[in-house]
Amino acid sequence: MIDIHSHILYGMDDGARDIETSYAMCRLAVENGVDKIFATSHLTELYDVRSYVNARDDRIARLRELIEERGLGIEIYPGAEVYASDDLFFCEGLEEVTLNNSKYILVEFPMRGISFSTVLRYIETIFLKGLVPIIAHPERYSFIQKQYDRANFLADIGVFFQINASSLAGRMGREEFDLAYEFVMKDLANFIASDSHSLNHRPPDMLSMIREFPPNISRRGLDRMLNIPPQALVDGKPIPRSLGSGMLRRRR
C-alpha cells in the first residue's frame, strides 16, 4: 500500500517529536502493509515556503539514512499538507511542496467557519498556478458536511479527494464516517490515507483500520484508492479519474 498523507517527519509540526518516533511510525506502517509513504507535514506559513522545504528535505534525508541503516523496507516521498488561507494569493514556490514534485498538491481547509465561496477562490488560485488540488480529509469540513452536493461540484471542476482511514473506520465520529462512507460508495474518493501523527494519536495502522471498514466496501475499490492513484503520484503520471456517480447524498 501507499500512504499519501502522514506527519512522520520529526520536529516539523504536531507529528513525530523526534527521529526515533519517525522511524517507529515508519516501522508500524510497514507492519501494516505500507511500503511507500509521503511525508506531508503541515505548511501554514505560505510566505516562507523555502524554509519549509529546506527543513523537510533535511529531515527526509536523515530519516532515509536511518531506514537504510536498519534495513526497513519503506520509501519516503516529499510533500506537504498546505493550509489554505489568503496567503495563497501571494505565495511563491508552491510547486516545491507538491506531492513528489508532481503537479498535485495536498490542501487542507479550516474545519469550521469558512464559506464555500472562499474555498472556491482558494481552489481557483491553485489551478491558476498550474497545480491540481487534492483535498485532504473532505469528510471533516463543515462546508461539505452541511451540503454534500458541494463535493460533486468540486469533483466536476477537477478536484481530487483523500479520505482518512480513521474516519472510514468510525474512529472520528458519526458525521465524518457518514460522509467518508458516501465518498467511497459513490466512487468519488480518490485516495485513502492514514493522516498519521504519532504512535498513539492517529497511528499509521492501516491494516487495523481497514479491518474496521464496512464490509460492503469492495476489495477492488480499496485497491484503487490505496494503490493506483498513489502509484501515479510516485511515477509522476496523471491521476486516473474515478468513475464516480457524482451524486453524493446525505443519508436519512
CATH of the domain at 165: 3.20.20.140
- Extract the residue ranges of the chain whose pLDDT is less than 70: 243-252
Q: Is residue 248 part of a domain?
A: no
User: Which cell numbers in the block locate residue 31?
Assistant: 507492519
Among the listed residues 190, 175, 105, 114, the one whose alpha carbon sits nearest the alpha carbon of residue 140: 175
Q: Is residue 246 part of a domain?
A: no
Q: 3-state DSSP call for residue 3?
A: strand
Q: Is residue 6 part of a domain?
A: yes
Residues 6+ apart with CB under 8 A from 16: 7, 8, 9, 10, 22, 25, 197, 198
pTM metric for this prediction: 0.95
Q: Is residue 223 part of a domain?
A: yes
pLDDT of residue 201: 83
Give how many domains the chain has, as a whole number: 1
Q: Is residue 251 part of a domain?
A: no
Q: How far is CA 179 from CA 44, 49, 68, 175, in A?
A: 26, 32, 39, 6
User: Which cell numbers in the block locate residue 192?
Assistant: 485513502
Q: Is residue 245 part of a domain?
A: no
Among the listed residues 63, 66, 32, 8, the one whose alpha carbon sits nearest the alpha carbon of residue 165: 32
Structural domain of 226:
2-235
Element (H, E) at 133: strand 132-136
pLDDT of residue 249: 61
Q: Is residue 191 part of a domain?
A: yes
pLDDT of residue 64: 98
pLDDT of residue 248: 61
Q: Is residue 241 part of a domain?
A: no
